[in-house]
Amino acid sequence: MKNLKPAERTNNIEYAIRDIVVVADRVKATGKKILPLNIGDPCKFDFKTPPELIEIVTKAMMDNNNGYSPSSGIDDAVEAIRKEAVELKGIKNIQNIFITTGASEAIEICMTSLVNRGENILIPSPGYPLYSAIVPKIESTFNTYYLKEENNWQPDIDDIVSKINDKTRGIVIINPNNPTGAVYSKEILMEVVEVAKKYNLVIFADEIYDKLILNGTKNVSIASLTDEVPVVTFNGLSKSFLAPGWRIGWAIVSGPEREIADYIEGAQRIVRARLSANHPLQYAIKPALEGVCNHMPETLQKLKERGEITTKRLNSIKNISCVAPAGSFYAFPKINIPIDDKQWVIKLLEETGVLCVHGSGFGQREGTKHFRVVFLPHNDVLNQAYDKIEEFMNKYF
């Protein structure tokens, strides 16, 4: 058989968060202890999926809800998502909701059903790499806008406007943000709405970290600020309900009914063709959103402490500065070094065992260098990791 070549559309797909694990495995094989600050999975640290939800899912399985579900998801769960979106988030004009295999599947379905070959969706830089991985898959073109580090990593509205062209169909807003930990102000979100209205863009609002707010404020859903602009809001059980392996997410499509009906039908064709999301796991959605579990105060307390340790420790290290994260469990510190940030991350890993992800894996402004820290590990582990980073910086930079 001739050498089997993958399709060209796979060439540019990268996912730095998992790609760096290949290097870490090599380092681990040499006997070095790895301190993982690289992966946004709370279950890998001292966070446990709420037992109330596990019981409900177990019962759903024992009750033989193990066949396919309706393609958009079970009615009770869809209704609970709608109720929360209306009553808690204030989202108006909801036209469609569907449940998916993680928010990841919803994001891919909604981008796939919007853009034609050669069109583009504005994605943030830095940003969560799933978005840039989908771009080549759907033969779209890259179009990124910057987040402003000097303004607590809020979106750079001027840059957004300057990047819009006649092939731009949408814009992705990740709030609270991965990888920066930023929570966007209502004013900035309103400016995004105005831009979207003016240029006929669909807003993709990734709010998977919406309940993980560390500064005592409440997350504003951008969809609550408009009933004219089409908005697709993504969420799921992975982060706020500590169950990423369940792969349960959803999309809420809102906006003017007549104008977005065809788009919804396009998305629904894909939704039906892939049958359904994990069926028994969907039984956890309603109780989760209705507040059956009490994991949130402890989760937020731990994250708040760990975020503060992260900011304080990193800002005291030579040639590192870190904007304090206001939400999620990530920070995106800046490093002033003479080598590139991927080389720095690999050298840090090889020398100290501390595993972070390089900033270039998320995108960043030309000439700047960063790394992403996941501050899910216990305070002691974080302090140990920051001690090692400090020693490493003092020794080499």
Positions touching ligand PLP (CB under 6 A) are 40, 102-104, 128, 174, 178, 206, 208, 236, 238, 244, 249
When the beta carbons of 244 and 353 are compared against ligand PLP, the nearer one is 244
When the beta carbons of 244 and 359 are compared against ligand PLP, the nearer one is 244
Q: What minimum distance in Å lies between the beta carbon of 226 and ligand PLP?
A: 21
When the beta carbons of 238 and 352 are compared against ligand PLP, the nearer one is 238
Residues facing residue 158 across a β-bridge: none
Q: Which residues lie closer than 8 Å to 110 by C-beta, 6 or more apart?
A: 204, 232, 234, 251, 253, 267
When the beta carbons of 177 and 310 are compared against ligand PLP, the nearer one is 177
When the beta carbons of 119 and 210 are compared against ligand PLP, the nearer one is 210
Does residue 179 have a cis bond before it (omega within 30 degrees)?
yes
Q: What minimum distance in Å lies between the beta carbon of 214 and ligand PLP?
A: 16
Q: What minimum distance in Å lies between the beta carbon of 29 and ligand PLP?
A: 26
Q: What minimum distance in Å lies between the beta carbon of 248 and ligand PLP?
A: 7
When the beta carbons of 168 and 178 are compared against ligand PLP, the nearer one is 178
Per the rule left: phi > 0, alpha: psi between -120 and 50, beta: everything else, 81 is alpha
Per the rule left: phi > 0, alpha: psi between -120 and 50, beta: everything else, 234 is beta
Q: What minimum distance in Å lies between the beta carbon of 374 and ligand PLP?
A: 10
The residue whose Cβ lies closest to ligand PLP is: 102
Q: Which amino acid is at 175?
A: N
What is the secondary structure of 107-165 as a DSSP string? HHHHHHTTPPTT-EEEEEES--HHHHHHHHHTT-B--EEEEEGGGTTEE-HHHHHHH--
CA angle at 238 for the pair 237 and 239, rounded to the nearest 5°: 100
When the beta carbons of 91 and 103 are compared against ligand PLP, the nearer one is 103
Q: What minimum distance in Å lies between the beta carbon of 238 and ligand PLP?
A: 3
| N-term to C-term CA, the chain | 51
Q: What minimum distance in Å lies between the beta carbon of 74 and ligand PLP?
A: 18
Does residue 176 have a cis bond before it (omega within 30 degrees)?
yes
Task: Assess contact for 289 and 81: CB atoms under 8 A.
Answer: yes
